[in-house]
Each structure stands twice: as structure tokens, then as C-alpha cells.
């Protein structure tokens, strides 16, 4: 397609779409305004009803917990898809170096990167766990904290190299972590059914507002999502890195 044809196609499409876009923009609420009363209602009553201070957690993991279950399955399915696409017949020898591939030059990392990684990776790990465990109190939660923990594992790769990274990241352990995370979410939702409640009903004692154990099932679900996200994102990183490694004969 030449440049002229593309331009003509663009202007033709713009002519059709522009009135629709403008009509849509005119219908938008004013800047900074929201027309949905739901958020205000949750902000007003959430703390009294669920004993949590992060209303987003109250909505995500209790009031609309079923939506988050769906999202967790989306992540689970996406990670499974990545693994199925990328994992071929290659093995998983820990000592293998992904840079030792024909035609690829290995550049040594500077001592500054290694030194900084040794400080930043553990700090990031602790911060990620903090974000997961305080999801019901402060902004953040299982998803955000899980991604931070997965990033701390990648920082080990940056600082120490592939072999050291593979010492802390085991494919099987990640699979178990992710599957358990999803399973805990499912099972926590099933428990109220046996007492005549509805799926994902918050049956646990709600605890004291501001305490780490407040919110009933909300912290448990946060930890479950955190486990699934740590497993999922570490698996994606692992598969990406394994993909660039040349398999050895004795790996299979």
C-alpha cells in the first residue's frame, strides 16, 4: 500500500468516524465530574460495613469479588497461553547462560549494577510483601504487590545474572504458587455455600478497623491474588528468558 493510498484511506475513515467521535465527546460529563452514585455510596458506608480503610479492596475482593475471580482467571489463562506458546522441547538446566548463544555477545555487568541490585532487590521484595499484606488498609493489594515481588526477582537477574536468578526461581514452585493462589480464591468463595450463604460472602469476623487482620476474607483473597500474580509474572519472565537460550544436547 503506497503512501497516497494510505492517506486517502485515512481521510475516508476520518470522515466517517469524526462525527461519531465528536458526538461521543459532547456527551461526556464535565472534567472531574462523575455521574455514578455507587462510588460515593461505597465511600460513605464501606468502612462501617466491611471494617476496611481501602474502599477499592472492599469493592474488588468482597462486594464485587466475583469480578476479581474472573480477572484472576484471565491472568491464569494468559500465563498458560504464554507457557504453551514458548515452552517447547527445551530443558531447564539452571547453570545455562542465556547470553551464550551463537552470534550474541555477552556484555559483563558493572559492579555498580550488582551492588545496587543487592540493596534494591531485597528491599523491593519486602515492599511487595508489605503491599500485599496491607491491601485492605492502604492503596495496593495482591495484584500490585505481586507484580512488585516479581520485579524484585527480575532485579536479581539484572544484578547477579541468569544462574543466580534460576537458583531462586523454580518453574515447578511458580506453577504451584500460581495454581494455589487461584485455588485459594475459589475455595474461600465456596466455603459460605456450606453454611447456606452465597458465593464469596464475607463470613469471617471483620476485625478491628485499621488492623492487619480486618476485613474478613479480604486479606485472604489479597494473599491468594498475590500468590497467583507472583507465580504468573515470574513464569512469564522465566519463559521469555528461556526462549533466548540455546538448548544443550543433554538438556532434553
Residues contributing to the site for another protein (CB under 8 A) = 31-32, 54, 56-57, 98-99, 102-105, 107, 131, 139-141, 143-144, 147-148, 150-151, 154, 157-158, 233, 236-237, 240-241, 244
Residue 180, classed as helix, strand or coil, is helix
CB of 33 to another protein, least distance (A): 11
Check: CB of residue 182 under 8 Å from CB of residue 73.
yes
Specify the residue, 98 or 219, whose C-beta has the smaller distance to another protein.
98
Specify the residue, 95 or 195, whose C-beta has the smaller distance to another protein.
95
CB of 150 to another protein, least distance (A): 7
Check: CB of residue 149 under 8 Å from CB of residue 127.
no
As a whole number of angstroms, the distance between CA 100 and CA 244 comes to 9
As a whole number of angstroms, the distance between CA 150 and CA 177 comes to 12
As a whole number of angstroms, the distance between CA 188 and CA 160 comes to 39
CB of 91 to another protein, least distance (A): 17
Specify the residue, 10 or 199, whose C-beta has the smaller distance to another protein.
10
Specify the residue, 119 or 240, whose C-beta has the smaller distance to another protein.
240
Q: How far apart are the first and last CA of the chain?
A: 45
- How many CB atoms sit inside 10 A of residue 83's CB? 17
CA 91 to chain centre: 26
CB of 164 to another protein, least distance (A): 14
As a whole number of angstroms, the distance between CA 154 and CA 171 comes to 14
Specify the residue, 179 or 241, whose C-beta has the smaller distance to another protein.
241
Specify the residue, 76 or 158, whose C-beta has the smaller distance to another protein.
158
CB of 80 to another protein, least distance (A): 18
As a whole number of angstroms, the distance between CA 181 and CA 129 comes to 15
CB of 189 to another protein, least distance (A): 22
As a whole number of angstroms, the distance between CA 170 and CA 161 comes to 15
Amino acid at each position: 500500500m503506497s503512501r497516497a493510498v494510505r492517506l486517502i484511506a485515512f481521510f475516508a475513515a476520518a470522515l466517517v468516524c469524526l462525527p461519531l467521535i465528536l458526538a461521543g465527546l459532547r456527551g461526556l460529563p464535565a472534567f472531574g465530574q462523575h455521574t455514578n452514585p455507587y462510588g460515593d455510596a461505597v465511600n460513605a458506608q464501606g468502612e462501617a460495613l466491611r471494617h476496611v480503610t481501602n474502599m477499592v479492596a472492599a469493592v474488588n475482593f468482597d462486594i464485587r469479588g466475583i469480578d476479581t475471580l474472573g480477572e484472576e482467571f484471565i491472568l491464569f489463562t494468559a500465563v498458560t497461553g504464554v507457557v504453551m506458546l514458548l515452552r517447547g522441547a527445551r530443558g531447564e538446566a539452571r547453570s545455562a547462560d542465556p547470553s551464550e548463544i551463537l552470534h550474541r555477545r555477552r556484555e559483563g555487568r558493572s559492579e555498580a549494577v550488582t551492588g545496587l541490585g543487592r540493596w534494591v532487590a531485597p528491599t523491593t521484595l519486602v515492599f511487595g510483601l508489605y503491599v500485599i499484606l496491607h491491601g485492605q488498609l492502604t492503596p495496593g493489594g495482591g495484584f500490585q504487590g505481586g507484580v512488585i515481588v516479581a520485579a524484585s526477582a527480575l532485579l536479581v537477574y539484572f544484578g547477579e545474572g541468569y544462574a543466580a536468578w534460576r537458583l531462586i526461581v523454580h518453574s515447578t514452585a511458580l506453577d504451584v504458587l500460581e495454581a494455589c493462589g487461584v485455588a485459594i480464591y475459589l475455595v474461600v468463595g465456596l466455603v459460605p455455600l456450606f453454611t447456606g450463604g452465597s458465593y464469596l460472602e464475607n463470613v469471617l469476623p471483620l476485625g478491628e478497623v485499621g488492623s492487619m487482620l480486618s476485613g474478613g476474607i479480604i486479606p485472604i483473597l489479597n494473599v491468594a491474588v498475590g500468590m497467583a500474580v507472583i507465580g504468573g509474572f515470574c513464569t512469564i519472565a522465566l519463559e521469555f528468558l528461556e526462549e533466548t537460550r540455546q538448548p544443550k544436547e543433554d538438556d532434553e
